[in-house]
Amino acid sequence: MVLAEQCGVIFDVDGVLVDTKDYHFPAFVKLAEEEEGFKMSQQQFLDTFGWHNLDIFPYVYGHPLPSEEVSRLAERKEEIFRDMIRGRVPAMPGVAELVPALRAAGFHLGIGSSTPRANVELVLSELGLTDSFEAIAAGEDVTRGKPDPQVFLVAAERLGIRPERCVVVEDAVAGVEAALRAGMKALAVTTNHSREALSAAHRVLESLEEVGPEDFLALLG
């Protein structure tokens, strides 16, 4: 019998805890106004949503970039994003109910996200969920972005939970693949991708309002 106290749930942030798509793209657009030679189309944004900044900027530019340049561009873009979203963080449906319910059931909760730690901390603070999460693995904690499983394995290690006892909650195709490669169960939400695109996940939802702690135990059982 699987007990919640022996299990972890690792959440992505953008598109899972909060709906930030309408803020990230304008942040890239504003960056393009500041940076000569940088331009991102709506399609490029959708194609790379959920990627690590280390991968996004070389992809959009179409050629490798020095690591210092990628870091500079990424830091500026994320500063713009945080300025845009501060004070109006839009929680995804079901989050305010599901996270406390999982905690009350005994699950260990973590974050596994490509976004910078400052973004994660801002989101959790504004949602009033800072104390609900025991471990954070953010962009600074990894050298390889999703679909590499590194970020989820780091989160599981920090939770002290074996990968096979973890469920990952994701909204991106690359995130689902990363969860599966980590040896974890994947629960996907159709925030930014179709049910068909996310079909590799163990379960696909329209909203986190559809699940409770018992569903996570069933996935792990």
CATH number at residue 63: 1.10.150
How far, in Å, CA of 82 to CA of 76, rounded? 10
pLDDT at residue 116 in the model: 92
User: Are both 78 and 149 inside the same structural domain?
Assistant: no
| Cis ω before 116 (30° cut-off from 0) | no
User: Are both 189 and 112 inside the same structural domain?
Assistant: yes
**Which strands sit side by side in the sheet containing 203-205, from one edge to the other?**
135-137, 108-112, 8-11, 166-170, 185-189, 203-205
Residue where a domain terminates, one of 41, 58, 85: 85
User: Are both 34 and 10 inside the same structural domain?
Assistant: no
Res 28 pLDDT > 80 = yes
Residue where a domain terminates, one of 40, 63, 85: 85
**For 105-124, what is the mean pLDDT?**
96
pLDDT at residue 37 in the model: 87
HSE-up of residue 142 (Cα within 13 Å, Cβ side): 29
Res 50 pLDDT > 80 = no
User: Are both 94 and 78 inside the same structural domain?
Assistant: no
Res 1 pLDDT > 80 = no
Q: Is the pTM of this model over 0.85?
A: yes
Residue where a domain terminates, one of 36, 68, 85: 85
User: Are both 130 and 188 inside the same structural domain?
Assistant: yes
pLDDT at residue 218 in the model: 97
Q: How many domains does the chain have?
A: 2
